[in-house]
Amino acid sequence: MACAMLSTRGIVDVSDPPLLQIRGLSISYPSERGAIGALRGIDLELAAGECLSVVGESGSGKTQLLLAILGLSAPSAQVRGSIRHRGQELVGMRAAQLNRIRGKRIGMVFQDPMTALNPYLHVGAQITEVLRQHEGVRGRAAEQRAIELLESLHMPEAAQRMRQYPHELSGGMRQRAMIAIALIARPEILLADEPSTALDVTVQAQVLSLFRELRERTGTAIVLVTHDLGVTAELADRVAVMYAGRVVEQADVRTLFESPRHPYTEALQASIPRTDAALPTHLPSIAGTSPDPAALPPGCAFAPRCLYRLPVCQMNPPALIESTAAHWKACHYDGVLGKIRGDAA
Amino acid sequence: MRPTHGFWRQAFERLRRQRMSVAAGLVLTAIALACLLIPMLSSSDYYTPHYEYLSRTPTLAGGHWLGTDPLGRDMLLRVMWGCRISLAIGITASLISVLIGVAWGAIAGYAGGATDSSMMRAVDILYSVPYVPFVIVLTLLFGRQVWLLFVAIGLVSWLDIARIVRGQTLALKQREFIEAARVSGTHGAAMITRHIVPNLIGIVIVYATLTIPTVILFEALLSFLGLGVQSPLASLGSLVADGASEMQSHPHLLIIPAVFLALITYCFNYLGDGLRDAFDPRDR
Amino acid sequence: MLRYAVHRFLSAIPTLLLVATLAFVLLHAAPGGPFDSDKRILPAIQQSIEAKYHLDEPLWRQYLRYLSDLGRGDLGPSFQYRGTSVNEIIAQGFPVDLTVGAAAIVLALIIGVAIGINAALRRGSSEDYGSMAIAIVGISTPVFVVAPLLVLVFAVNLHWLPAGDWVGGSVKHLVLPSVALALPYIAYIARLMRASTIEVMNSPFIRTARSKGLPLRVIILRHALRPTLTPLVSFLGPAIAGLITGSIVVESVFGLPGIGRYFLTGALNRDYTLVVGITVLYGALIVLFNLLADLCYALIDPRVRLR
């Protein structure tokens, strides 16, 4: 996928091979009602140093996507397709090899730091063990590096925190600890699963600015999974919108917000009340409900709720194609969107 | 607000799909029917000694399908009576347990505060009391009277049920319909009986079913030690004890009541497990 | 941590007091005096016996005397074995209980934990279902059924092991009693460990550990072991009560000269002080083990200590 990308955060050199290349990734789970497809043919790429935000509602499969990259899907999951990291195929890789990538080349921040940290171990131990495993650094040296990292993440009284247990820390501090765990071995990719969702709003803002700092300082590539468009607007270079296990639109962040080409994206944006315009008389929402992954309609999964529905939409699922430069969408409707925006009623 | 019709139906469906629990339930029903009907339909009784048939081994021919005991009494009848006694004591005593436990737990959980802490402290302390030795001492002192047996056995499990019920009550208290009821004027006893208790029924059924085997085994233990039902009446426990002393020469006297006892407790445990999964499905 | 320990220790005292008081009440609630027998005793002799055992004092005085005796560890004289104190009888029988009980616990822990964790790691396999089905049987079958059956199979029919009796230091005599005692615990611990392992291995923090690239061995030993074992520790406290009951049965079936058997014979022979004394001992053991279990739990789980 050769393209020139200009983002507000600088020019990314696309002659670098993509850090992450996902092709046709599908994950299904066996259940009493037949196989449930959590991911149905995902194509994505991540270039060095860029921040890719994956946006979708609960059940769209975005967390599954992240887990699959590190081989952390549930044992019953059937994973098909390809995930290449610098050319190495991660799907089906043996655990011993995968363990050399986990934590060291690709780090992950999980959604709820309270449950994602081991309540029986000191926070410091949970950070330094990553160093011990991947760089052989132990003892005082490892602790030193952990403390430095925590301080750079603005953790108050970092040295004391190292010897405390997760339940003794506040939510924001726990999240910083999680981020430290993911970053201490200096991975080139950071996978972040809703990093601010489980936190209070004020702490959310802090965590987001942490991420921004991180990008500016270290140039780590980030895959940021979120359902919050605001977070996406703040941090992302490029955005992929997911619905019912598929990517339905992909573009750089500015383009996506200014001229979305998929009805779902348009509807998402429209459902957020804007503070710079008069409040509408009723909040627009997307009619209908999220589809049941076990009972997906034939054709496009969004069709039942789509305002631009064509007859073909209910028969053939649309493929993800590049409609304009670096702007991909999976939709049969080629006309101009705008039914929702601009109408206040 | 009571649990809806759909709640029961869903639970029943989930139960139906657990094949082992259904099988257990069927076996128990079969045993219950057998022990009710067989003695009624039989011409002889379980207590008259027949010195001509001493300790016969089980044979299909000749009428004594499960053999006879050292006094010539038919084992099938004695085991059926044993099942009757064990089941009767089991169900009645566990009902006593459940009633006391539910009352204690619901009141403690609903009242909250100091009442709750002191009631549950009492439970904690009572937990540490060596129950079996105390009951043995009681039967020693006051003789083997039937009412004592029922009460003592009934008191063995109420502690567990009280704890569970209190926990559930605390959780229920947070739910909105309690708030709604309180606003509309329901308080105290009315609140407990009309709103809390009906929502406990599911969990109470589960634990009542799981208590029955504990109670049956406790009674059997007492009988085994010579402190339970008195001759010529026989419970499964006393039959096992009798059989144990004869086991070198006539092993069937031990094995048959042992099998029935194990079967009954095994089935109640499986049924209770299934009920628990039916009312509260979680990843097993 | 120390505060927690002291706190738990202090709350054990009312329990002990309750057990002792109940025991005292029972001792004196018995219809008929402790020395009632079929023989008639001359009133003068009756009086001197009562004076000797302080039975002529008001009840509250006897109670205080009883408590102070207990405080010194004196459980009084046995009525059955004249001239021997309850303490001496307990001292004689306790080592037997200790040996059999310890063997049973060790057996139950090793086998139960192994079966349980193995079943969890091979979840859904026939090994899993098989061992859990056997576990249910083990839990449902009472000790007093298992013990005679074991004797029947291994002693009477196969002649591999002795049917009972006790020879100090002989392993052969230890096997059947401790296996009989351990069986329901093996089953329960196996089920417990299986459920616990499954729950822990599915928990979010184990997923985090995997995402760090840690090898499985490190994950299990460093991250999973402690949370998996905590329910076991909670269980062992109350388990002692069952072990006590079980020991009464096992000693009866196998004819072991332990406290359980003295308790039973004491009960049948109306030796009140012995029976009540042993009951108090049992109560103290239960309280002690619960205390130990709570302390171990606090050692393992840091979240408990701050309460």
Q: Tell me: the pLDDT tens digits for B253-284?
A: 888 888 888 889 888 888 888 887 777 654 33
Question: Per mean pLDDT, which range of A176-180, C60-64, C125-129 is the poorest?
Answer: C60-64
pLDDT of residue C35: 55
Give per-residue pLDDT as tens, C169-220: 677 788 888 999 999 899 999 989 998 998 899 899 999 999 999 999 899 8
Better-scored residue on pLDDT, C165 or A317: A317
Give per-residue pLDDT as tens, A31-53: 877 788 889 889 999 988 899 99
Of B221, B255, B270, the CB nearest to C144: B221
pLDDT of residue B52: 67
Chain C nearest-CA distance from B49, in A, is: 25
- Cβ contact C202–B254 (<8 Å): no
B213 touching chain C per CB within 8 A: yes
A120 touching chain C per CB within 8 A: yes
pLDDT of residue B120: 87
Better-scored residue on pLDDT, C10 or B46: C10
Within a domain: A228: no
- Cβ contact C156–B247 (<8 Å): yes
Question: Per mean pLDDT, which range of A322-336, B51-65, B102-116, C58-72 is the poorest?
Answer: B51-65
Chain A nearest-CA distance from C227, in A, is: 7
C-alpha distances out from residue C88 to C34, C82, C94, C262, C265, Å: 20, 12, 10, 12, 16
The domain in which residue A258 lies consists of: 246-345
Chain B window 238-267: which residues touch C at a Cβ cutoff of 8 Å?
240-241, 243-244, 247-248, 251, 254-255, 258, 261-262, 265-266
Q: Which residue shows structure tokens 């270039």?
A: A47
A325, A238 contact by CB (below 8 A): no
**pLDDT over 80 at C41, yes or no:** no
CA A287/CA A264 separation, integer angstroms? 11
**pLDDT over 50 at A8, yes or no:** no
**pLDDT over 70 at B227, yes or no:** yes
A117, A58 contact by CB (below 8 A): no
- For residue A293, count CB atoms less than 10 angstroms from its CB and return exposed for 0-12, middle for 13-18, buried for 19 or more: buried
CA A182/CA C208 separation, integer angstroms? 9
Phi and psi at residue C214, to the nearest 5°: -80, 140
Better-scored residue on pLDDT, C147 or C272: C147
**pLDDT over 70 at B180, yes or no:** yes
Mean pLDDT score across all residues of chain A = 85
Residue A7: band (very low, low, confident or very high) from pLDDT cuts 50, 70, 90:
very low
CA A232/CA A93 separation, integer angstroms? 31
For A217, the token pair is: 């300082």
**pLDDT over 80 at A61, yes or no:** yes
For chain A, helix (H) and strand (E) counts, in that order, are 11, 14
Q: Which residue shows structure tokens 């060596």?
A: B130
- Cβ contact A101–C213 (<8 Å): yes
B118 touching chain C per CB within 8 A: no
C122 touching chain A per CB within 8 A: no
Interhelix angle B158-173/B75-111, nearest 10 degrees: 40
Q: At CA A56, angle to CA A52 and CA A58, rounded to 5?
A: 130
pLDDT of residue C5: 77
- Cβ contact A133–C214 (<8 Å): yes
Q: Which residue of A has its CA nearest to C300?
A: A120
Q: At CA C136, angle to CA C135 and CA C141, rounded to 5?
A: 100
pLDDT of residue B256: 86
C276, B136 contact by CB (below 8 A): no
Chain A window 51-80: which residues touch C at a Cβ cutoff of 8 Å?
70, 72
Chain A neighbours (≥3 Cβ pairs under 8 A) are C
Q: What is the mean pLDDT of residues C49-71?
A: 74
Q: How many domains does chain A have?
A: 1
CA B269/CA B252 separation, integer angstroms? 25
Q: Which residue shows structure tokens 């029955």?
A: B212
CB pairs under 8 A between B and C: 123
Chain A nearest-CA distance from C134, in A, is: 27
Give per-residue pLDDT as tens, A193-209: 988 887 777 888 888 88
- The runs of H, that is alpha helices, within chain C are 2-29, 43-52, 59-71, 86-121, 126-140, 143-150, 171-201, 204-211, 216-218, 225-254, 259-268, 272-300, 302-305
Within a domain: A296: yes
Closest CA to A113 of A14, A192, A33, A43: A192
C185, C142 contact by CB (below 8 A): no
**pLDDT over 90 at B199, yes or no:** no
A264, A241 contact by CB (below 8 A): yes
Interhelix angle C2-29/C272-300, nearest 10 degrees: 160
Within a domain: A336: yes
Interhelix angle B19-41/B75-111, nearest 10 degrees: 130
Is residue A271 within a helix (H) or strand (E), and if so which, with residue range? none
Better-scored residue on pLDDT, A280 or A102: A102
C269 touching chain A per CB within 8 A: no
**pLDDT over 70 at A16, yes or no:** no
Q: What is the mean pLDDT of residues C114-143?
A: 85
**pLDDT over 90 at A81, yes or no:** yes
Q: What is the mean pLDDT of residues A267-296?
A: 77
Query: Which residues have C-beta within 8 Å of that of residue C254, sequence separation ≥ 6?
Result: C147, C151, C163, C164, C165, C166, C176, C177, C180
Give the torsion sign (CA, B10, B16, B20, B23).
positive
- Cβ contact C275–B247 (<8 Å): no
Better-scored residue on pLDDT, A140 or B176: A140
Q: What is the mean pLDDT of residues A111-129?
A: 93
Within a domain: A331: yes
CA dihedral C197, C198, C200, C201 (to 10 degrees): 110
Q: What is the mean pLDDT of residues A12-23?
A: 73
For A68, the token pair is: 């699959």
Domains defined for chain B, CATH in brackets: 7-41+74-283 (1.10.3720.10)
Mean pLDDT score across all residues of chain B = 79
For A108, the token pair is: 């992950």
**pLDDT over 90 at B40, yes or no:** no
What is the CA A234 to chain-centroid distance, rounded?
Answer: 14
B241, B223 contact by CB (below 8 A): yes
Which residues on A lie below 8 Å from C218 (Cβ)? 129, 133
Q: Strand locations in chain A, DSSP E?
A: 6-7, 10-11, 20-29, 36-46, 51-55, 78-85, 88-89, 106-109, 189-193, 221-226, 238-243, 246-252, 321-324, 327-329
**pLDDT over 70 at C53, yes or no:** no
Q: Is the pTM above the cut of 0.80?
A: no
Chain C nearest-CA distance from A216, in A, is: 24
DSSP characters over C78-91: -SSSTT-BHHHHHH
pLDDT of residue A4: 37
For C291, the token pair is: 């205390």
- Cβ contact C244–B248 (<8 Å): no
Closest CA to A86 of A134, A26, A16: A16
A113 touching chain C per CB within 8 A: no
SS3 state at B93: helix
pLDDT of residue A345: 37
For C268, the token pair is: 């049948």
Query: Which residues have C-beta within 8 Å of that of residue B53, sequence separation ≥ 6?
Result: B64, B68, B72, B74
Within a domain: A200: no
Chain C nearest-CA distance from B2, in A, is: 32
Which residues on B lie below 8 Å from C286 (Cβ)? 128-130
- Cβ contact C213–A130 (<8 Å): yes
Q: At CA C231, angle to CA C145 and CA C131, rounded to 5?
A: 45
Classify residue B194 by its DSSP letter: I
How many CA atoms, within 13 angstroms, populate the side-chain half-sphere of residue A315? 3
Is residue A96 within a helix (H) or strand (E), and if so which, with residue range? helix A95-101
**pLDDT over 70 at A343, yes or no:** no
Within a domain: A328: yes
pLDDT of residue C182: 93
Residue A9: band (very low, low, confident or very high) from pLDDT cuts 50, 70, 90:
very low
Beta bridge partners of A10: A7
